[in-house]
Structure 1
Amino acid sequence: MTSVIVETANARRISYDVMAEILEPPPEVNYLAWAEDNIVFSERESQFPGPYNRDLFPYFDEVLRALSPDDPCRIVSVRASAQIGKTVVANIFTCGSIEMDPGDFLYVHPTENNAQRWSKMKLAPMLRNTTALSKLFPMKNRDGLDSVLYKERIDGRGAIQISGANSPASLSQVTMKRQVQDDLSKWEINAGGDPETQADSRSRAHEFAKILKISTPLVMPGCRITRNFEDGSQEYPYVPCPHCDHFQVLEWENMLANLDEEKPEDAHFSCIECGGLIEEYHRPQMTRRLEFRAHNPKAKRHHRSFYIWSAYSVLQSWERIAREWLGARGDPASEQTFLNDTVGKAYVTSGEAPPWETLRDRGANSDYAKGRIPAGFFILTIGIDCQDDRVEWQTIAWGRDLRRAVIDCGRIPGHISDKACQERLDAMLQQTWPNSYGQKLAADKVAIDGNAYTEDVWEWAKRHPAARLVMVRGSNTDSAPLTQRVKKERNHKTGKLLKYAKRFYNFNASVLKMALYRNVAKQDPLERGFVAFPTGLEDDYYQQLTAERRVPKKRKDGFTEYKWEKEKTQANEMLDTMNQAEVAAILYGIRDLPDVIWDRLEAERETAPQEAQLDFEDGLFARLVPTSSPAETSATRPQSKPAEKPNRWQTRN
């Protein structure tokens, strides 16, 4: 008889193994070590290809430590400049968590379109090219476990859900231990209320949850990431002076005070203790000893918040920071972009214009009349606004340094669909205005509001060249682009593509209003962005121009929004047409028009008229007094000869 030996499992041994696995402490969650072991940048992704190098991003060390379970804080906020690596930190937190401490993870972008783009362009390559992750996420579209907005581990122990803040459905019925709220300042109220509150509530069931909030700031009051930074520990990056070793924050105001406009390549800081020059070549040795110090330490246990800006980053030179400022200075819209993207701070605005009486008094003392173009302004644009029973318009002239002069405004009775109204609009597009040299200029670019009566506006607009006439509509959100062509739109009844989309543009009305209200307060005619007003404007013009305020609005859910509003009885068409005329100028290219084009326009459009040769004192004030009395005739008037072109002072005044 053959004996058979049967090996059976040792039940006691198995129970001991299971117990040991259960009782064994989980491995350390160390995002810094994980990044060094797993993150490798390609040449396409970074100007510093290769493994993650902490020496290049020393300011992220403490942020990643704060995200570890060893730190008791629940929320980590990062207010930072654009393009300094914020997304890298978010990716390390996301992918490191899903590998080292598996569980469900929520990643929220401002919109679902942003979420899909990030998933395809950032997350998918990382899951595919990182060895530790490629085994967990084969990405073979297995029964819905791998889609653009949902990535599940192959063993089912965790998943990444990717959502848009504009979709309340994607922020409901899920419980997440960890989450990232990306580009937080761009989140807008959705149909369900405040998306930030909705996202925060997804982690409420976890006592030891971690929520990372990251963003470049926008406008205060109302900026989400700035509010979070101020609610948190307010940790600033301190570095030692290379001369006296005194630790300090590299503040933009310090660089600005030391900036030589003629030599932006020499941009530097000065030590607040010893006064020694801190130059860019000192940056590597200083940032190696960088440490964050909390200005609100009592919040540190619950909410750690960090501030980082471009001066600390190897991705941005100090010379480039200086040149960006010199290019933006004096233009509020550009200054906002600089403060947000480069300095990492919110643009603070009062949200209201100077008193209209102040602007009226300035116009009453102007040296040019309504209907005439003063010297130094070579480009004309028109803004048109459509109402139920009328069409309002305004003509603006533009000069160098984004200076503008109000030229004319008016009202055409009737609806935009009326034939008589359209004929008068056609005539206005052919109208010309005389400048101080006797030349007559027509509008170079015209923008008409297409938000209301869109089809009627299109029926009129399509009769004119797209290069000269565009349709526009405003968006009052702070995060919208300054101008952007609308996406292809279809007729909601027929489904056919609407042809007007080819010449239809959205614009950021909120930013343009804030910029205008800062500019109209400027007193120096040579200052960048100065707004000139002619004599002959009625009080109603100034009242309409200053009709709106940016005010807080308390919602039923307790969240405060900031919206532009006007008095119910006050019209605001002159503010709207001013914005539309500016959009026309932007689309014409005025914000980045090269000097050679300005020089050509000046030569073509400001040819000196035939007038008598005058002494310097007479010529200086020639345009302020009549050249002849009513009784003077051609027989008594002195014979004239060609005059030289006015000097720069005359041209600008």
Structure 2
Amino acid sequence: MVPEIDLAWRRGIRPEPPIPVSDWADRHRILPPTSAEPGRWRTDRTPYLRAVMDALSTSSPYERVVLMKGAQTGGSEAGLNWLGYIIQNAPGIAMLVMPSLDMVRRNTTVRIDPLIEATPALRDLVSAPRSRDAGNSLFRKSFPGGQLVMTGANSAVGLRSTPVRYLFLDEVDGYPGDADGEGDPVDLAIQRTTTFRGRRKIYMVSTPTLKGHSRIEAAYLDSDQRYFHVPCQHCGDMAPITWARIRWPEGHRDAAYLLCDACGGVHHEHEKPRLMSAGEWRSTALGDGRTAGFHLSSLYSPWETWAEIAQEHARVSKDPARLQVWVNTKLGESWEDQAGDTVPADPLMARREDWGSDLAPGVAVLTAGVDVQGDRIEVQIVGWGRDEEAWVIDYRVLWGDPSGPRLWSDLDGVLNSTYGDLPVRAVAVDTGGHHTKMAYEFCRTRLARRIWAIKGRGGPGIPVWPRRPTRTNKGKIP
């Protein structure tokens, strides 16, 4: 056998070295001159990222790794280290999804190309860029044994282009709610990994946005919910760094420090590296056993001080819009708008009326609202009376897989039910989230029963129930 062919054959059958991603990064990753800290990568600079990266290693038991983070914590850099590890150590088809195609173009130029060019271990493995070679382009990087495909969450074509073993979902809270009318982009992307179940790796990373609407928060809540605990240098108590523990002398936020809740010990900014190096991740939930979830605020960042974060809080604390950005990007927490008045629970419960199995006397017509989720369909039946007075008649959760026909048959049975002597006269099915095609097909075949596909839209100035425009005497809409 020709020596070159024999060598290539032996490389092809060589098993994946049992090296974790963090070790690969420490050995091989070189940060480009455009980086804030150019030169060799050192995981010790951000020790909290070691467990995140190692959970992405092929030897790790986790299929999904979720990082809900603040800004300037290195979450995306950990993802780049993972991509480098894949190219050299565990080749296969990988996909990187950014919020839009424009962001993909910018990310390739600013981060992916410098990652490859600055790291000798990767430079010779990725196809050289040529004008007529699709193996190295803004959207594709080819290497022996695999490819890195990059696409935007706004491109349904890109999301369903090919099966992938490795999936990197970056800034998922910036994704659109729907990709070209084909459904949730996260669901579409994850579907690409199903043929690799048991061997796939999915990395979701993002700063969160609004509570109840944040994809990264929802994914984190399904995980084992880990927090990075650091030891008190005075009493040894282990606890996460939280905003409630950041204090400062009256009027001197520039002297902010970390307070130990257990003993009252004070830790100053210069002690942060020592705290980080002695820290450890601790889970606070069982999760599903396949998802490792990490929460990380900017309070841990080596590139931002507690004083800077405290001073910025002072500048934005009285402006809800700016405070939301601070909560999302500094604390890595979702924002819950509390500007409106809250309703005490007890007086509200005291006003309940029990109608038993009968409908309230004022109910004249029934409608239904249907919400489709990834693993269930939820249905609410509402009774309407004079002056649009409404009663919630029934609420059901139908568990199952909405991608198949059985769950939609169960929904049909619910909508065909009668309450008292009244049938459901009209139905609105939300098609703006999961399993859009199945929802459209369900509605299309039942238009005669007034089962309509809708897509919700909220925001300032949008009426809850839009009125039809009236016509003038000349038959024109004013």
TM-score, with normalisation over the residues of structure 1? 0.51
Superposed, 1:536-615 pairs within 5 Å as 555=432, 557=434, 563-564=458-459, 565-568=462-465
What does the per-residue CA deviation read over 1:466-518, in whole Å, with 9 as the maximum and x for residues that have no partner?
A: xxxxxxxxxxxxxxxxxxxxxxxxxxxxxxxxxxxxxxxxxxxxxxxxxxxxx
The alpha-carbon deviation at position 566 of structure 1 amounts to 2.8
1:44 pairs with one of 34, 37, 40:
34
The CA deviation at 1:221 is: 1.6
1:238 alignment counterpart: 229
The answer to whether the aligner puts 1:338 opposite 2:329 as a matched pair is no
When residues 569 and 199 of structure 1 are mapped into structure 2, their CA distance, relative to the original with a 3 A threshold, is closer
Distance 1:217 1:282 in 2: 28
Which whole-Å CA distance do the structure 2 matches of 1:352 and 1:235 have between them?
32
Q: Assess if the C-alpha contact under 8 Å between 1:80 and 1:216 holds in 2.
A: yes
Note closer, same or farther for the CA distance 1:134–1:19 as it changes in structure 2 (3 Å cut): closer
CA contact (8 A) 1:146 1:152 kept: yes
Q: Which residue of 1 aligns with 2:357?
A: none
Letter aligned with residue 124 of structure 2: K
After TM superposition, give the deviation of residue 20 of structure 1 in Å. 8.0
Give the direction of change, closer, same or farther, for the CA distance of 1:122–1:59 in structure 2 (3 Å limit): same
Question: Residue 568 and residue 68 in structure 1: after superposition, are their counterparts in 2 closer, same or farther (change >3 A)?
Answer: same
Question: 1:193 corresponds to which residue?
Answer: 183
The equivalent residue for 1:637 is: none
Structure 1, gaps ≥5 residues long: 1-8, 11-15, 356-551, 572-653
State the AA in 1 paired with 2:213: G
Structure 1 residue 341: deviation in Å? 1.1
Given candidates 140, 150, 155, the residue that maps to 1:150 is: 140
What is aligned with 1:296?
285
Counterpart amino acid of residue 228 in structure 1: A
Offset, 1:26: 2.6
Cα distance in 2, alignment partners of residues 314 and 142 from structure 1? 43
Give 3-state SS (helix, strand or coil) of 1:205's partner: helix
Contact 2:184 2:433 in 1 (8 A): no
Q: Which runs of 4+ in 1 moved over 6 A?
A: 16-23, 559-562
2:207 corresponds to: 216
| Distance in 2 (alpha carbons) for counterparts of 1:354 and 1:305 | 31
Larger Rg: 1
| Distance change (3 Å), C-alpha of 1:291 and 1:150 | same
Indicate the residue corresponding to 1:88 in structure 2: 77
- For 1:216 and 1:558, how far apart are their aligned partners in 2? 25
Cα deviation for residue 249 of structure 1 reads 0.7
Trace 1:387-466 onto structure 2 (pairs within 5 A). Answer: none
Does residue 247 (structure 1) correspond to residue 238 (structure 2)? The answer is yes
1:229–1:351 distance in 2 versus 1, CA, 3 Å: farther
**Structure 2 letter corresponding to 1:557:** H
How many residue pairs end up in the alignment? 359
Determine the C-alpha separation between the residues in 2 that align with 1:163 and 1:112: 6
Partner residue in 2 for 1:124: 113
Note the 1:252-651 alignment, pairs <5 A. 252-255=243-246, 258-260=247-249, 262-299=251-288, 301-349=289-337, 555=432, 557=434, 563-564=458-459, 565-568=462-465
In 1: Cα distance, 2:54 partner to 2:29 partner: 17
Q: Which amino acid aligns with 1:219?
A: L
Q: CA deviation at 1:342?
A: 1.1
CA distance in 1, matches of 2:14, 2:31: 35
Deviations 1:404-458 (A, max 9, x none): xxxxxxxxxxxxxxxxxxxxxxxxxxxxxxxxxxxxxxxxxxxxxxxxxxxxxxx
Read off the aligned partner of 1:567 and give its amino acid letter. V
Q: Of residues 222, 229, 233 in structure 1, which corresponds to 2:220?
A: 229
How has the CA–CA distance of structure 1 residues 230 and 22 changed in structure 2, closer, same or farther, with 3 Å as cutoff? same
Identify the match of residue 65 of structure 1 among 54, 59, 64.
54
Displacement of 1:163 in angstroms is 0.2
Q: Secondary structure at the match of 1:147?
A: coil
Once the two structures are TM-superposed, the CA of residue 133 in structure 1 deviates from its matched residue by 1.2
Instruction: State the Cα RMSD in Å.
Output: 3.0
The equivalent position to 1:55 in structure 2, one of 25, 44, 47, is 44
TM-score normalised by the chain length of structure 2: 0.69
Per-residue deviation at 1:147?
1.2
- Contact residue 206 and residue 216 of structure 2 kept, 8 A: yes
- In structure 2, the CA distance between the partners of 1:148 and 1:20, relative to structure 1 (3 Å rule), is closer
**Counterpart residue type for residue 184 of structure 1:** V
Whole-angstrom distance in 2 between the partners of 1:272 and 1:291:
18
For 1:179 and 1:350, the matched residues in 2 are separated by: 36
Give SS of 2:55's match.
helix
Aligned residues of 1:553 and 1:562 also touching (Cα < 8 A): no
**Contact in 1 for aligned 2:69/2:296 (Cα 8 Å):** yes
Tell me which of the two structures has the higher relative contact order, counting C-alpha pairs closer than 8 angstroms and 6 or more residues apart. 2
Deviation at 1:41, TM superposition (A): 2.4
Q: What do residues 186-233 of structure 1 show as CA deviations (whole Å, max 9, x unaligned)?
A: 111222110000011011110210000011111112011111111111
How far does the alpha carbon of each residue in 1:333-381 deviate from its partner, in whole angstroms, 9 at most, with x for none?
Answer: 11011111111111112585789xxxxxxxxxxxxxxxxxxxxxxxxxx
On the 8 A contact 2:16/2:89 being kept in 1, the answer is no
